[in-house]
Structure 1
């Protein structure tokens, strides 16, 4: 449903904006398998398709099984350096 999709997109954009305010450049959304499937169903329902999704709000999507129902917006260039660069959010199914 449109409201669920808007809620997820708002969460992604909110976390990306928080990272930008902290001086990072978010470029990837990590989604747990459950979260990804939920978002994919919402997008396909909205647009009448049965496609995989590769981007949310201009950020590349990567599926990380261990995240389950959560997502993390990251700056992939900084993440491994231990300097922050990540904001987690929950996808309410």
Structure 2
């Protein structure tokens, strides 16, 4: 049968092993959370950039653009120039 000292040392070794395991698990959890946060930040940055590009494209195609209207005949003669929020007839 193991002596009291041997039992104590075995318990101490078990406790140290458990603490080391807990430290490693916390470290892995911290790294996983960090990767998750970085992924979320990257996704948000991509979303923001896409929205900015879409807004810029929208502004280039609508609003205060100069538009020239040409009547439907084959000669393509100029029928009018419109500036600011044009509506064709």
For normalisation by structure 1, the TM-score amounts to 0.24
Greater RCO (CA < 8 Å, at least 6 residues apart): 1
- Which structure features the higher share of strand residues? 1
Larger radius of gyration: 2
